Amino acid sequence: MSLRLRLAGTFAFVALITAAAVALATPVIVGRGFAQIESGASLTPGQGPGRGPGAMAGIHAQQVQQETTVTLIVIAIAAAAGASLIGVLLASRIAQPLDTLEVAAAAVAHGDLGRRSGLGGRTDEIGSLGRSFDAMASELEQAQAARRRFFQDVVHELKTPLAVIDATTIAVLDGVYQHEDRHLETIRDQSRLLTRIVDDLRTIGLAEAGDLPLRRAPIDVGVLIADVTRAFAARAEGAGVRLAIDAPGGLAVDGDVDRLRQVLGALLDNAIRHTPRGGIVTIESRVADRRVRISVRDSGPGIDPEDLPHLFDRFYQADPARDRSTGTSGLGLAIVRALVEAHGGTAGAENDPAGGARFWIELDLGGVSIPTRSSSIR
């Protein structure tokens, strides 16, 4: 039963008890009053002026009327007081879950994010409120854990290049290493990696806060894919990977072309790194429900299902043995998701039934589709 019905029932119950008590007492009291009037009329009339039978009967009737009125008032007050007491008890019972929720809210406010209301099993409005509270507390707990994990990851990612720079510098200064360019190149490369990590974190922060400036304009999806694919052609050739395009012409989206190039570049870079020599990476675009889906599909070993939900997390490593020797910041996919969501789109990943992994982004359609044509770049 809903809380509104319970409260309405409580008020109606209090009123009903009061009315019932008065209704049951009234006939008895009125009957007794009439009996007293009738008995008073048969009394021997007094003597003296103004003491006739009519006068005596009138005085007696007034007294009985007053007594009856007072009795009814007392009965009504007593009935109202009793009914109100019952109403208070019922209202307290109804309000008890709110006290429980208040205690849980105070605990969460003081940092106990594991506290739950325990009201989720109710079927009324309080139960709905309890479930909403529990969901909010759970999200806060997850956000706190993610924030703590993020800071730990940042410390870990920054510590490695800083340690390399420090060790190399000390070795050169102490004469363990000669003053050679290769040692300076090590310091330079690690410094660039630090800069890239900081820049990537800044980009993600701005995108998630909605403060990243986007120079939006209509973008031809086919041209965008072709440009990014050409930019990675030499990289793919060096890795022994073939790039292929399977996309229709005439598709357009509204977005920042530089940021979307960055997104596709990160997906292509990731696919090439995880595709064995002799494999193929295919860039596709399709239209579904007024949205354009751009996919980057590789012929690599695929992704462990346990890793799929976390691939776009900051610094997440599906391969624990992976290091930063390639100069990557570990934020590429996190940037992809942040930039795509800043465009109002979505990003995801899945294993392709035919083998390999597929990373995709979806953006609102801004153009008209025409028949598909495929091409490849070697």
- pLDDT at position 54 is 55
Say if 116 falls within a structural domain: no
Q: What is the DSSP letter of 365?
A: B
DSSP state letter for 310: G
Tokens found for residue 316: 């997440």
Residues 242 and 193 both lie in one domain: no
Q: Is residue 120 domain-resident?
A: no
Residues 223, 339, single domain; the answer is yes
Task: Indicate whether 232 and 184 sit together in one domain.
Answer: no
User: What pLDDT score does 346 carry?
Assistant: 94
**Same-domain check for residues 224 and 170:** no
Q: Examine the domain organization and report whether 85 and 187 are in the same domain.
A: no
Asked if 307 and 203 sit in the same domain, the reply is: no
pTM, to two decimals: 0.58
Q: What domain range includes position 372?
A: 216-377
The last residue of a domain, from among 84, 109, 134: 109
Residue 335, SS3 per DSSP? helix
Could you list the beta-strand ranges (E) of 114-264. Answer: 216-220, 242-248, 252-256
Whether 294 is in a domain gets the answer yes
Q: Is 191 domain-assigned?
A: yes
Which CATH number goes with the domain that contains 190?
1.10.287
In a domain, 25, yes or no: yes
Measure the CA–CA gap between 229 and 378, rounded to whole angstroms: 10
Residues 364 and 237 in one domain: yes
**Structure confidence by residue, pLDDT tens digits, 323-370:** 444 445 567 888 899 999 999 999 999 998 888 899 999 999 875 444
Domain boundary among 56, 87, 109: 109
Q: Are residues 354 and 239 in the same domain?
A: yes
Q: What is the pLDDT of residues 153-202, one digit of tens each?
A: 677 677 778 888 888 888 888 888 777 788 788 888 888 888 888 888 88
Q: What is the CA radius of gyration of the chain?
A: 41
| 261 falls within a domain | yes
Average pLDDT over residues 237-259: 90
Domain identity same for 180 and 242:
no
Is 365 a member of any domain?
yes
pLDDT value at 43 more than 60: no
CATH number of the domain to which 253 belongs: 3.30.565.10
- φ/ψ of residue 218, rounded to 5: -60, 130
The 10s digit of each residue's pLDDT in 279-300 is 999 999 998 888 999 999 999 8
If one counts the domains in the chain, the total is: 3
> Where is average pLDDT lowest: 9-13, 96-100, 335-339?
9-13
In a domain, 125, yes or no: no
Closest CA to 251 of 212, 207, 282, 221: 221
Same-domain check for residues 170 and 271:
no
- Mark whether 353 and 250 lie in a shared domain: yes
Residue that finishes a domain, picked among 65, 84, 109? 109
282 with 343, same domain?
A: yes
In the chain the first and final C-alpha atoms are separated, in Å, by: 69
